[in-house]
Amino acid sequence: MTKSCLNCEKTEEEIPLLDLHYQSGKLFICPQCLPILIHKSEKLVDKLPGAENFGDAEHHH
Ligand SMILES: [Zn+2]
């Protein structure tokens, strides 16, 4: 199976992917989407259950 970014689904053929180890699984994310994981992880909650808890627990307006 071709590895692809969990957010934008670019494959390792198109862009370097970073490994994520999460809940005993393995996921991949590209450098373009990494800031989303860090700062806007709640946007990834569809793909990463619990992602809303990754970042700081700040409230958004
Ligand atoms: Zn991506």
30 CA distance to ligand 1 centroid (A)? Answer: 4
DSSP one-letter code for 13: T
C-beta separation of 17 from 29 below 8 A: yes
Q: Give residue 58's pLDDT band: very low, low, confident or very high (50, 70, 90).
A: low
Say if residue 11's pLDDT is above 90: yes
* Residue 30: domain span: 1-55
Does residue 22 lie within any of the structural domains? Answer: yes
58 CA distance to ligand 1 centroid (A)? Answer: 24
Does residue 61 lie within any of the structural domains? Answer: no
In whole angstroms, what is the distance from residue 10 CA to residue 6 CA?
8
What residue ranges in the chain does DSSP mark as E strands? 18-22, 25-29
**15-32 residues labelled b (16+ CB within 10 A) or e (exposed):** eebeeeeeeeeebbbbee
Which range has the worst mean pLDDT, 1-5, 32-36, 40-44, 51-55?
51-55
Number of domains, the chain: 1
